[in-house]
Amino acid sequence: MTEGQILTQPRLLTEVESKELLRRAGVPVIETKLARTKKEAISISKGMGFPVVLKIISLDIVHKSDSGGVRLGLPNAAQVGKAYSEVMSSIKRKYPEAIIQGVSVQRMAPPGIEVIVGMSKDSQFGPVLMFGLGGVLVEVLKDVSFRIVPVTRRDAEEMVREIKGYPLLQGYRGQEAVDIPSLEELIVKVSQFIEQNPRIKELDLNPVFAYKDRAIAVDARIIMEV
Ligand code: ADP
Ligand code: MG
């Protein structure tokens, strides 16, 4: 924010900014860097190791994949270069007015169970954390649990167990169980982060990938109060 700037709109932070704040607060997020040019995207990818993911970074684009702004599983420098050009031309065509900062670069995370952790402010209760399974399960079935911030370890344990999809986290039909304690730890860390940053209006970690030994957010979005 530049000095003297008058904010009249809630301020959206980019994926890169959101993840950086969360990382500093000890919330596990996948390492993510901003590339402003194709050359930068390639050199960052080489530094991180393939396969990588590119995502459009623009405050004018909230849903990155809906707008054709996410490219997953890029196996080498040539594919990163190609994906960079394709994402840029597609976004410029669809959203000619959008101000584009560049693309984010991150490692392609191995498959895991996708969950979401969110925060919104209730007019009566203040910040409330939400936990649920990612994707269709949350959108269609609204299978989520809520607790008021501050969320204790005990609250987090209950949140995880309350959702109908909990058996999926325990391992289902040969699928490996995920590390429940690391999910609880992540929820508590997010709650502490919210407490320390009362100006956050909304937060979304969607998705968090849950594995047998850890949990890590691969997308993050924060909206600040005016
Ligand atoms: P948006 O929610 O803005 O559309 P996301 O960053 O959530 O964009 O990416 C869309 C989807 O791509 C995610 O739900 C997830 O399934 C997948 N994805 C995103 N980042 C990664 C990553 N680093 N590794 C593996 N899959 C990813
Ligand atoms: Mg997302």
Cβ(197)–Cβ(150) below 8 Å = no
Give the nearest ligand 1 atom to 64 CA: 3
Sign of the CA dihedral running 99, 103, 109, 111: positive
Span from the CA of 4 to the centroid of ligand 1 (angstroms): 35
Whole-number Å distance, alpha carbon 109 to ligand 1 midpoint, is 9
Which single residue is written with the structure tokens 């530094």? 47
H or E stretch including 74? strand 70-74
Ligand with smallest separation from the Cα of 15? 1
Q: What is the pLDDT of residue 6?
A: 56
Most informative mutation of 17, 18, 219 for ligand 1 (most atoms within 8 A of CB) = 219
Best substitution site from 29, 63, 70, 222 to test ligand 1's pocket, by max atoms within 8 Å of Cβ?
Answer: 70
Residues with CB under 5 A from ligand 2 (ion): 206, 219
Q: Which atom of ligand 1 is nearest to the CA of 206?
A: 7
Beta-bridged to residue 13, according to DSSP, are: 222
- The closest of 118, 101, 92 to 15, measured between CA atoms, is 101
59-107 pLDDT tens trace: 999 899 988 999 999 999 999 999 999 999 999 999 999 999 999 999 9
Residue nearest to atom 19 of ligand 1 (CA): 218
CA angle 152, 156, 161 (to 5 degrees): 150
Residue whose Cα lies nearest atom 15 of ligand 1: it is 207
Range of weakest confidence among 69-73, 121-125, 137-141, 195-199: 137-141
Residue 5 has pLDDT above 90, yes or no: no
How much is the average pLDDT of 107-136? 94
Rounded to the nearest integer, the mean pLDDT of the chain is 94
Asked if residue 2 has pLDDT above 60, the reply is no
pLDDT, mean of residues 217-221: 98
Task: State how far the Cα of 211 lies from the Cα of 105, in Å rounded to an integer.
Answer: 22
Where does ligand 1 bind, in terms of residues with CB under 6 Å? 30, 53, 55, 63-66, 70, 72, 106, 108-109, 114, 206-207, 218-219
